[in-house]
Each structure stands twice: as structure tokens, then as C-alpha cells.
A = this chain, B = another copy of it.
Amino acid sequence: MNKEKQMKLEASGWKIGSVNEFLELSQEETEFIELKLSLSQNLKERRQSLRLTQKDLARMIHSSQSRVAKMEAGDPAVSIDLLVKSLLALKTSKKEVAGMLPH
């Protein structure tokens, strides 16, 4: 990134500093993890409130009970894509999903 571009970013409130880069990254990673955990927890609550077993949900999304368990456990090796597909399978509305986004 050149000097001119860096100045433009900093003028609009960005921090591009050297040490800061490391901190920014970990902050993004933290936010990313928190988002996944929020989706996981909401998925579990939603499934349970619908009185569905993990096996039931697994069938609905053409997956397996073990993968649903891992989703709900917040396993790092589960994508947001699969979490979203699961929530959509449970007819989660746009408004509900919006409410799941962490601060």
C-alpha cells in the first residue's frame, strides 16, 4: 500500500500502523469466531424449540447427525455456509438472523 492511499484511509478513521496490523487481524478473527458461535447457539436453540432432533435437522440439510452436533458445539471446522443453510432450513427470517449478529 502506497503512502497516498494510506493517508486517505487514515483520514477516514483507519489505523494502518505496523503494530496495529497484528491487533487488527486478531480483532477480526475474534469477531469472526464470535459470529460463528452466535449462529451456532441460535441454531441449537431454534432446533430445540422446534422439537427436532439433530438427526431430523441433518436429514433436512442432507447432512449427518455428527455434523449437526459439531455445528452446535461451535466446532471451528464448520463453515458459516453450513450454519446459514441450516438456519434457512429452519425458516429463520432475515430479521432473526440480523438479531444473531454480535456487537
Contacts A50-B12, A51-B8 given: A32-B1 contact, CB under 8 Å? no
- A79 contacts chain B at the CB level, 8 A cutoff: yes
- A35 contacts chain B at the CB level, 8 A cutoff: yes
- Stoichiometry (number of copies): 2
Interface of A is mostly: helix
Cα separation A35 to B80 with both chains bound (whole Å)? 12
In the complex, which of the residues B32, B97, B103 contacts A101, with contact meaning CB atoms closer than 8 Å?
Answer: B97
In the complex, which of the residues B12, B31, B88 contacts A32, with contact meaning CB atoms closer than 8 Å?
Answer: B88
27 A-B residue pairs with CB within 8 Å: A1-B56, A1-B59, A5-B51, A5-B52, A5-B56, A8-B51, A9-B52, A12-B50, A14-B91, A28-B88, A28-B89, A31-B88, A32-B81, A32-B85, A32-B88, A35-B84, A79-B79, A79-B80, A80-B80, A80-B84, A81-B81, A94-B101, A94-B102, A94-B103, A97-B101, A98-B98, A98-B101
Using CB atoms and an 8 Å cutoff, list the residues of chain A in contact with chain B: 1, 5, 8-9, 12, 14, 28, 31-32, 35, 50-52, 56, 59, 79-81, 84-85, 88-89, 91, 94, 97-98, 101-103
